[in-house]
Amino acid sequence: MLIDSLLSSLINIVTFYTISFPERYPMWFNYSSNMVYLILYNFMGVLFLLYVDSKTKIGSIKKVMLLIGAAVIIYDAFMIVTTPFTKWIIYYDENGRYCHGSMMNSLYVTAFICVAIAITIFIAKRKMFNHYQVLSIMFFAIGVFFAILFQIHHRSHVISNFVCTMVLFFIHTAFENQAYYLHGDTLCYNRRAFIKTIDQYRYRKENYLMAIIKIDDFENIKHSLGRMGVDDLSERIAERICREFGKSAYYVDLNCFAVIKIVANTHQLREQIKECFTTSFILEIGDDEVILDLEPVISFINVHGENVEGYEMTTIIQNTANRYSDSDYTIQESDELIKPIRREKEVLRLIDNAIKNDGFMVYYQPILDIRSRTFTCSEALIRLKDEKMGFVGPEEFIPIAEKNGRIHDIGDYVFRTVCRFIKENDVLSKGVNYIEINLSPEQCNRMELANQLIGVATEFGVDFRQINLEITETAEMKSYGMESVNELITNLHSKGVTFSLDDFGSGFAAIDYLIKLPVDIVKIDKGILWQAMNDEASMKILKNTIRMIKEVGKKIVVEGIETKEMADILIANGCDYLQGYLFSKPLPPDAYIEFISGKWEEVMITY
Ligand code: C2E
Ligand code: CA
Ligand code: CA
């Protein structure tokens, strides 16, 4: 745009002469100078449109934008190039005077359309930009608009080029400012520069070697230095790395620095990086002087540039090693590292699709009540099937949904589906007392969960006693969620909902949970059972765990029963319920209804 603006301004000076004194020059020169000027001048609108498109990066409309741009360019060029013959745009009359043709204003209209579309897109995406950037674009739109209006009425005042150049200057400082790409105090390239560089390499299809540098034991250092200290330390490290590697170095994050080289000797690069850490770092924290000797953790990635986007790279480097180990010496391939990230993106897309288009199913796995030898309850388990990717298991997609905030929608879907299922099939009359529903820890931390569940159950007219909620122990819950889970349980208990503590023994604080959470049932994790079938010590632990849980007065479910031997041991040790493939896999709703309506008796005979 700047080049276009500069050229059109220069040629504008020439046209000033060819318009004022046409008799001095040959006619072909009069025409061509004006035509070149008009082409350059009118392309500004298209360039602006493409510029805004490249900044807002809305992939889905990229093609349309290019099409609009091409159409305008073809139209303008055609009208201008043919004007010596058609006189549509400009012409010199019989007296040799410069005149505007009948279609002149259509050029303004096309330029105006481009600018209007660009501004609309920009406004829709304004949240991506800072105030200064928004201001510069608005300034461009308003400035150019009024300048053109002014010039249509006062042809001799050639100001629109001047205004255009002025506002372009603003846009330039707002968007292309180098300062955006430098870290304030260290003047190293920052995270934004890092992402942009990766994208540029991708565009150029260039391969390169990337060294990721982190600090060993950073979490501990962070704890002992505090927020300010750690910022300071990070800057010192960045400074050293930048001094050593100059423009190849990036300060990506607090504990993450990168060096990008097109050609490199890894051994030499490693030595160079280590060199940056040979002398101690001396920090002043308050009145104290802290001396730190740091060990860099270096990971090398061979990047197949064409395949990796800037943002994806930030995820890849997040996943690289945090602790020093010998495997440090292997060079990883970016194509391998990107696979799980792509897969996760793809699965997230499936999840979103399924949320929108009702793409989930709930299956039910019957649970055997040992006392009555009937299947008095079951566990609801979600399923996701995609035409292209086939079956995606909850072990894979539930953690992704949790990480990306989709678990609440999924939880709501499962709860509704189960409530509808209970009501429509009157499962109680078929001997099913309750259905167990899995809750994710993320769901439990939401204050409104209890009310939401109560609302849905009431809406479907489901007796609360027909619902059992399974909660899982996790590290996060231990640190901040115990209180709120306790409240949730107490609140819903009063309505008649019962609770199970899921995956008992596989996690973090099993005993602590058992003491602190007033659950009704404890579900022993299948991993514990399977381990116990393999070695004697684990079997002792399993048996004593069962005894302990019984002594504190909770019911026990064991999941993952695959053989008769497992079932016999558990029954002999006093478990209350058994769940596993030995009896039934999770079944789709129809098959489950068939199962509880009598088919189960065939199963029991074989067992
Ligand atoms: P979970 O809660 O531990 O569920 C039990 C898992 O063990 C289920 O896997 C079930 O199919 C499987 N299973 C049961 N008996 C056997 C057996 O005898 N052998 C073997 N090999 N497996 C058995 P599934 O359905 O793949 O679910 C995996 C996990 O996904 C669940 O583990 C649960 O954590 C999560 N999940 C499933 N549905 C939901 C849901 O609706 N909400 C939430 N938040 N999580 C869910
Ligand atoms: Ca479960
Ligand atoms: Ca489990």
Name the band, by pLDDT with cuts 50, 70 and 90, for residue 333: very high
Distance 5 CA to ligand 3 centre (A): 66
Contact call for residues 40 and 11 (beta carbons, < 8 A): yes
CATH (one of 3.40.50.300, 3.30.450.20, 3.30.70.270, 2.170.190.11) for 180-340: 3.30.70.270
Residue closest via CA to ligand 1's atom 24 equals 394
Residue closest via CA to ligand 1's atom 43 equals 438
Mean pLDDT across the stretch 136-157?
82
Q: Is 503 in the pocket of ligand 1 (CB under 6 A)?
A: yes
Predicted local distance difference test score (pLDDT) of residue 327: 61
φ, ψ of residue 90 to 5 degrees: the values are -135, 160
Mean pLDDT across the stretch 281-288?
87
Distance 535 CA to ligand 2 centre (A): 25
Contact call for residues 180 and 192 (beta carbons, < 8 A): yes
Domain boundaries, the chain: 2-176, 180-340, 358-605
CA dihedral 533, 537, 541, 542 (to 10 degrees): 10
- What 8-state DSSP symbol labels residue 57? -
- For residue 142, the Cα-to-chain-centroid distance in whole angstroms is 35
Greater pLDDT, 516 or 596: 596
Q: What is the DSSP string of 412-447?
A: HHHHHHHHHHHHHHTGGGGT--EEEEE--HHHHT-T
Q: Which ligand is nearest to the CA of 524?
A: 3
Distance 592 CA to ligand 1 centre (A): 16
- pLDDT tops 70 at residue 587: yes
Q: Which amino acid is at 450?
A: A
Predicted local distance difference test score (pLDDT) of residue 184: 83
Q: Which of 52-61, 443-452, 492-501 has the lowest mean pLDDT?
A: 52-61
Q: Is 414 in the pocket of ligand 1 (CB under 6 A)?
A: yes
Q: Is 366 in the pocket of ligand 1 (CB under 6 A)?
A: no
Q: Which amino acid is at 159?
A: I
Predicted local distance difference test score (pLDDT) of residue 287: 84
Q: Which ligand is nearest to the CA of 383?
A: 1
Name the band, by pLDDT with cuts 50, 70 and 90, for residue 355: very high
Predicted local distance difference test score (pLDDT) of residue 478: 62
Domain 180-340 and domain 358-605, same fold? Reply is no
- What 8-state DSSP symbol labels residue 189? B
Mean pLDDT across the stretch 302-310?
93
Q: Is 340 in the pocket of ligand 1 (CB under 6 A)?
A: no
Distance 503 CA to ligand 3 centre (A): 4
In tens, the pLDDT along 524-540 reads 999 999 999 999 999 99
**Mean per-residue pLDDT over the chain, rounded:** 91
Q: Which residue has the tokens 């190039």?
A: 81
Q: Is 541 left (phi over 0), alpha (psi -120 to 50) or beta?
A: alpha
Q: Which helix (H) or strand (E) holds 467?
A: strand 467-472
Predicted local distance difference test score (pLDDT) of residue 430: 93
Predicted local distance difference test score (pLDDT) of residue 511: 81
- pLDDT tops 60 at residue 509: no
- pLDDT tops 80 at residue 469: yes
Q: How do strand 360-369 and strand 577-579 relate by DSSP bridges?
A: antiparallel
Predicted local distance difference test score (pLDDT) of residue 475: 65
Q: Is 580 in the pocket of ligand 1 (CB under 6 A)?
A: yes
Distance 501 CA to ligand 2 centre (A): 9
Q: In what order do the strands lie in the sheet containing 208-215? A: 249-253, 256-261, 208-215, 296-303, 331-333
CA distance 465 to 487: 18
Q: Is 391 in the pocket of ligand 1 (CB under 6 A)?
A: no
Handedness of CA 225, 229, 235, 241 (dihedral sign): negative
Predicted local distance difference test score (pLDDT) of residue 328: 63
Q: Which ligand is nearest to the CA of 408?
A: 1
Predicted local distance difference test score (pLDDT) of residue 429: 94
Among candidate residues 191, 209, 211, the one with its CA nearest the CA of residue 201: 209
Predicted local distance difference test score (pLDDT) of residue 59: 74
Residue closest via CA to ligand 1's atom 46 equals 438
Q: Is 362 helix (H, G, I), strand (E, B) or coil?
A: strand
Mean pLDDT across the stretch 344-367?
94
Predicted local distance difference test score (pLDDT) of residue 606: 63
Distance 363 CA to ligand 3 centre (A): 16
Domain boundaries 358-605, CATH class: alpha beta
In tens, the pLDDT along 80-138 reads 999 999 999 999 998 889 999 999 989 989 988 999 999 999 999 888 888 888 999 98
CA distance 497 to 507: 24
- For residue 459, the Cα-to-chain-centroid distance in whole angstroms is 34
Contact call for residues 140 and 52 (beta carbons, < 8 A): no
Q: Counting every residue, how long is the chain?
A: 607
Name the band, by pLDDT with cuts 50, 70 and 90, for residue 508: low
**In DSSP terms, which residues pair with 261 in a beta bridge?**
209
CA distance 105 to 111: 10
In tens, the pLDDT along 403-439 reads 999 999 999 999 999 999 999 999 999 999 999 999 9
Mean pLDDT across the stretch 317-345?
87
